[in-house]
Amino acid sequence: MSELSVNHLLGIKYITEADIQLIFETADHFKEVINRPIKKVPSLRDITIANLFFENSTRTRLSFELAEKRLSADVINFSAASSSVKKGETLIDTVNNILAMKVDMVVMRHPNPGAGVFLSQHVDASIINAGDGAHEHPTQALLDCYSIRERLGDVAGKKVVIVGDILHSRVALSNIFALQKLGAEVKVCGPKTLLPKFIADIGVGVESDLRTALEWCDVANMLRVQNERMDISYFPTTREYTQQFGVTKTLLDSLNKEIVVMHPGPINRGVEITSDVADSKQAIILDQVQNGVAVRMAVIYLLASKIKHNEN
Amino acid sequence: MSQKVLLNATEVHIALQRLACQLIENHDTFSNTVLIGIQPRGIYLAERLKTILETDYKIKDVPLGYLDITFYRDDFRRSGKTLEANKTKINCVVEDKKVVFIDDVLYTGRSIRSALTAIQSFGRPLEIELLTLIDRRFSRHLPIQPDYRGRQVDAFGEEKVKVCWEEKDGEDAVYLVNN
């Protein structure tokens, strides 16, 4: 197979294992490109991409913007805080106004789950979901799996535990789908109040004890506690959360094997993981960031290939 | 579909020997030269020439890299299918070096145009030459000509020149294929 089965990247749920493998193979080439003296290729010089961020983001937005610029696409940025959305404009109107300026692709982050799917049904552009509420964050899952593949050789057959706030995490859901499609075994670990009720139905094991989970896994993906999404208290205190679900160097060193530690950022140092873990050789957090650009270049390149060339 | 042999194994070997000797005339010890095989099919020719230079003519460590031009092509979104990339591997410095592009067939010249852009990402070469095993005359879209050629061929637009390598296709030969 040499092209994606989809015209949009709305979630890992909608793509196949072959799509993921194609994205990884293409990302390998882009990883080489971004390590050259001149880190830019001219492929997308006639493509315009709009980055629509209806929710705050630093690294995802920078990563997408860099990926787009490395591919020579024209980029326009939009953030809800300083836009007409505040004046009551609807999502479709906002996007159609932007598309009227001849934009080919939209990268969108939105607080509502399903916003990307909705948009893809109503506007004529290729859509990349950069996070929709607590639903999916497909490029994060792709770069996480790509980083596991890079460090451990393959994703298939690996055991991955996702620790922390699963309930509010789009990263968790996309990661679960991607890891399962690639043949990894997935467990989640966290306070019961932060585990969704459906979790067992999608074939994910639950482990309430962190040490047992770490003894079992090859990779631990530590999620951030998303205080901004919590309208009620899910655990008594941050200190108690850290004592039960925080990873320390002492804990890592006491395991009978060396595991890989991941974190999608931003890190709350001293909450999910301590500083010495974040800065240790076992942590691949900065590799994840670098791979993020290569993986997003691959996704954008492959989707842009499917946009019909306008002869006029 | 019919096909005609343009070069058999012996003729391919003679051409390779001649091309290697012509390279030595211009590049001496290759201390200031880098051979660049153009992906995907130019790398076999480049590797053969490196082997001949090192074993038959005792030149030590001829620098060789592979250059993929996919992301520099001018037909992105025009061919109707996704352009698939190959590996680029350039472990040597090209800045201020004499670079020799090596490809199996020179046809429209568009691949070489892309390669000229692509190599700039790795530095500014002193000069760039072009070596091809087969030069298809009368079919160029761009003002590009080889500096070294194995055989010049007159082929019509619908005909295809197929270069086979022992290590890839099981034999050394060049065919003219008529669909």
- Residue ranges of the annotated binding site of A for L-aspartate are 87, 170, 224
Residue pair A161/A214 in contact by the 8 Å Cβ criterion: yes
Answer yes or no: is pLDDT of A46 > 70.
yes
pLDDT bucket at A83, cuts 50 / 70 / 90: low
Nearest to A41, CA basis, from B128, B91, B70, B101: B70
Answer yes or no: is pLDDT of A98 > 90.
no
Report the percent of chain A where pLDDT is more than 70. Answer: 96
Report the percent of chain A where pLDDT is more than 90. Answer: 75
Answer yes or no: is pLDDT of B77 > 60.
yes
Give the model confidence (pLDDT) of A219-259 as tens digits: 999 998 877 766 677 888 888 999 999 999 999 999 989 99
Answer yes or no: is pLDDT of A85 > 70.
no
Mean pLDDT score, A58-72: 95
Residue pair B153/B130 in contact by the 8 Å Cβ criterion: no
Give the model confidence (pLDDT) of A115-149 as tens digits: 999 999 988 899 999 999 999 999 999 999 999 99
Answer yes or no: is pLDDT of B132 > 70.
yes
Mean pLDDT score, B126-130: 97
CB contact under 8 A, B123 and A37: yes
Which tokens go with A24?
């990884």
Residues of B in contact with A302 (CB under 8 A): 82
Alpha helices in chain A (DSSP H): 17-33, 59-70, 91-99, 115-122, 138-152, 170-181, 210-216, 238-245, 249-253, 275-278, 285-304
Q: Could you tell me where in chain A the CATH 3.40.50.1370 domains are found?
A: 12-135+290-304, 138-289
Give pLDDT, residue A144.
Answer: 97
Which tokens go with A29?
């080439």
Give pLDDT, residue B80.
Answer: 75
Per CATH, the homologous superfamily of domain A138-289 is Aspartate/ornithine carbamoyltransferase (3.40.50.1370)
Query: Any long-range contacts for B79-87 (C-beta under 8 Å, 24+ apart)?
Result: B81/A2, B81/A3, B81/A305, B82/A2, B82/A3, B82/A4, B82/A302, B82/A305, B82/A306, B83/A305, B84/A2, B85/A26, B85/A29, B86/A29, B86/B39, B86/B40, B87/A28, B87/A29, B87/A32, B87/B39
CB contact under 8 A, A29 and B85: yes
Mean pLDDT score, A63-76: 96
Angle at A50 (CA atoms; ends A49, A56), nearest 5 degrees: 135
Answer yes or no: is pLDDT of A102 > 90.
no
What does the mean pLDDT of chain A come to? 92
Residues of A in contact with B81 (CB under 8 A): 2-3, 305
Answer yes or no: is pLDDT of A96 > 60.
yes
- Nearest-angstrom CA–CA distance, A72 and B84: 18
Q: Thinking of the domain B2-25+32-71+85-178, which architecture would CATH place it in? A: 3-Layer(aba) Sandwich (3.40)
Which tokens go with B42?
């130019």
Tokens 């909608």 belong to A14
**pTM of the shown model:** 0.91
Alpha carbon A260 to its chain's center: 18
Give pLDDT, residue A311.
Answer: 57
- Nearest-angstrom CA–CA distance, A74 and A44: 8
Nearest to A4, CA basis, from A308, A292, A304, A309: A304
Partner A, chain B 7-66, Cβ-Cβ below 8 Å? none
Residue of B nearest to A44 (CA): B76
Q: Is A269 on the interface with B (CB under 8 A)?
A: no
Which tokens go with A36?
């050259």
pLDDT bucket at B158, cuts 50 / 70 / 90: confident
- Residue ranges of the annotated binding site of A for carbamoyl phosphate are 59-60, 109, 137, 140, 265-266
Provide the greatest CA pair distance for chain B: 47
Mean pLDDT score, A84-95: 78
Give pLDDT, residue A201.
Answer: 92
CB contact under 8 A, B120 and A38: yes
Lowest model confidence (mean pLDDT) among A17-31, A44-58, A73-87 = A73-87
Sheet-wide strand order for A205-207 = A205-207, A185-189, A159-163, A219-222, A260-262
Residues of B in contact with A309 (CB under 8 A): 77-78
- Domains of chain B: which residue ranges? 2-25+32-71+85-178
Give pLDDT, residue A2.
Answer: 84
Residue of A nearest to B78 (CA): A309
What does the mean pLDDT of chain B come to? 93
Give pLDDT, residue A82.
Answer: 63
Within 10 angstroms of residue A226's Cβ, the number of other Cβ atoms is 17
- Nearest-angstrom CA–CA distance, A92 and B64: 53
Grouping H, G, I as helix, E, B as strand and the rest as coil, residue B37 is: strand
Give pLDDT, residue A273.
Answer: 93
Give the model confidence (pLDDT) of A184-223 as tens digits: 999 999 999 999 999 989 999 999 999 999 999 999 999 9
Mean pLDDT score, A278-288: 95
Residue pair A260/A151 in contact by the 8 Å Cβ criterion: yes
CB contact under 8 A, B82 and A306: yes
pLDDT bucket at B79, cuts 50 / 70 / 90: confident
* CA distances in angstroms from A284 to A132, A249, A298, B157, B173, listed in the order given: 25, 15, 20, 52, 49
CB contact under 8 A, A306 and B117: no
Q: Which of A36, A297, A302 to mutate to test the interface with B (most CBs of B within 10 A)?
A: A36
Which tokens go with B127?
């000069």
CB contact under 8 A, B76 and A43: yes
Answer yes or no: is pLDDT of B83 > 80.
yes
Mean pLDDT score, B87-93: 89
Percent helix / strand / coil, chain A, rounded to 5: 45, 15, 40
Q: Is A34 on the interface with B (CB under 8 A)?
A: no
Give pLDDT, residue A84.
Answer: 64
Residue pair A108/A61 in contact by the 8 Å Cβ criterion: no
Complex ipTM more than 0.90, yes or no: no
- Domain A12-135+290-304 top-level CATH class: alpha beta
Which tokens go with A310?
């306008």
CB contact under 8 A, B82 and A29: no
CB contact under 8 A, A29 and B121: no
